Amino acid sequence: MFHQNWHHSGYTSCPLPSSPQLIWQYNIGVGFSTPVYDTDAAHTYATLFIASNSSYVYAYNDNTHFLRWSKNLGTGVKSTPLYDNSSNRLYVGSGTQMYALNKTSGATIYNYTAGGNIRSSPATIPGTGKIYFGADDGVVYALNSTGSAIWKFRTAGPVISSPAIYENGVVFVGSADNKVYAINVSTGKQKWAYTTGGDVNSTPTTPENQEKVFVGSADGNVYALNRSTGALVWNYTTGGPVISSPAVNKDSGNIYVGSNDNNVYALNSTGGFRWIYATADDVKASPAVSDGKVLVNSIDGHIYMLSEVDGSLIWDYSSSTPTSSSPIIENYKIYVGTNSKVLVFGSNPVDATIDIDPDTINLGSNGKWITAYIEVDGYDLSTIDTSAVLLEGVVPATGPSEVGDYDSDGIADLMVKFDRQAVSELLSPGEAELTVTGKVWEVHFKGSDTVDVIG
């Protein structure tokens, strides 16, 4: 879902490395859409959903990077998908269509035709089967679990802003008619509206522990509104239109937002200035906040990691392509979409000791398995997901596995097996270095062994 959670706060407690390394990339451009990460509690079913700026939605196994499924929607996607585990669905807008897809297979459950193109990302209350989104016809739509409209709320301008829902049953959304709306989630009736001085394409943020709604406007202001009444609490003026959606640290109440004056701003909970960081182009993306760090992308093609304390630069990465998509932080990793690819950053892999058996691989053998013994000193090898262990990045471990001490050195090792035919197809006679990769607990590991290849 857009901006980390259904409050769109951009905040997570997931720890971050101070010097992230590029560990993978998917060669799929996403434009404004943000990649979406979904998993179970043990991170064994880790799926990255990517809605491309061509017309496809992809579901990748984020452990093995293998494609689970893809779906051609016919039109480039400009909004961020939403998954709902309670219904096993993925919702995504494309052109004028809002699709409900089976999250596991990608099969279409329903599609609903709106009166305009959909650039707004859908929102839901988990367990209800209902979704809420806006469209360029100026309407906010509420659909039930079968894809029928429950209600439609009409504004006077395109609704690019994505709805945010608070537990008290209110949908907050902006419109290009300069207004921020609070709408009753059940009836679709207006609760209040606040008028700014420009289009409100920024998505409202409704932190769970504050009585405020935070939102940006094309008039250059960041607004804090009373969540119950819509009354202005404070506003802060930047030097350009604010399309970026504010991120709010749940613990400190500090706010972080980008502006089209090229800057990232940090404000305190009362709207006071804390610090500013200058990039080389517009900051349309919405920041993500975690572990004392602020992550934000700029149209200058850079991904910046800043200190929450003083805005000092901790790390940056040049993607060499404009970046409007907002970063997400999940599973100790950073996911960033650009106009040409999706980048995945994490820690450098720890060294693993690998012993391949047999030492000599006969390409003419009819044997079933190639065995690898993996040692990662200091880690509990029972936390390794063997289905995500890869040889040469492409051959998955598919045979039986067992933790033991194969070489009797007092350090546990994990025995895994790879399909011999699949490995042989990668080899030719001579000496070969074979690399095994995987993840132990939340840390990637990598190691190699050399074998002789005959036949």
**Proportion of the chain in helix, strand, coil states, percent, rounded to 5:** 0, 45, 50
Question: Phi, psi (5° rounding) for residue 91?
Answer: -105, 135
Q: Who has greater pLDDT, 17 or 97? A: 97
Residue 212: which CATH number?
2.130.10.10
pLDDT in tens, 162-181: 999 987 689 999 999 999 99
Single out the residue in 346, 381, 414 at which a domain terminates.
Answer: 346
Number of domains within the chain: 2
Q: Please compute the mean of the pLDDT values over residues 282-299 and round it to a whole number.
A: 92
Residues 423 and 358 in one domain: yes
Percent of the chain with pLDDT over 70: 96
Residues 382 and 269 in one domain: no
Residue 42: the pLDDT is 52
The pTM of this model reads 0.80
Confidence of residue 3 (pLDDT cuts 50, 70, 90): low
Residue 108: the pLDDT is 98
Confidence of residue 263 (pLDDT cuts 50, 70, 90): very high
CA-based Rg of the chain, rounded to a whole angstrom?
24
Residue 362: the pLDDT is 95
Structure token digits, residue 10: 């951009």
- For residues 98 and 77, give the distance between their C-alpha atoms in angstroms, rounded to a whole number: 11
Residue 348: the pLDDT is 72
Q: Is the separation of the CB atoms in 284 and 261 below 8 Å? A: no
- For residues 121 and 230, give the distance between their C-alpha atoms in angstroms, rounded to a whole number: 23
Residues 333 and 204 in one domain: yes
Tracing tokens 């997901």 back to the chain, one arrives at 385
Residues 84 and 185 in one domain: yes
Chain-centroid distance of CA 25 in Å reads: 13
Residues 317 and 448 in one domain: no
Residue 207: the pLDDT is 86
Residue 394's domain spans which residues? 350-454
Residues 209 and 99 in one domain: yes
Residues 328 and 361 in one domain: no
Would you say residue 421 lies in a domain? yes
Question: Phi, psi (5° rounding) for residue 388?
Answer: -100, 0
Report DSSP state, residue 11.
B
The region of weakest confidence among 19-33, 120-134, 158-172, 401-415 is 19-33
pLDDT higher than 70, residue 41:
no
SS (H, E, C) 233-264: EEEEECCCCCCCCCEECCCCCCEEEECCCCEE
CB atoms inside a 10 Å sphere around CB 30? 27
pLDDT higher than 90, residue 245:
yes
Report DSSP state, residue 122.
P
Cis peptide before 35 (omega within 30 of 0): no
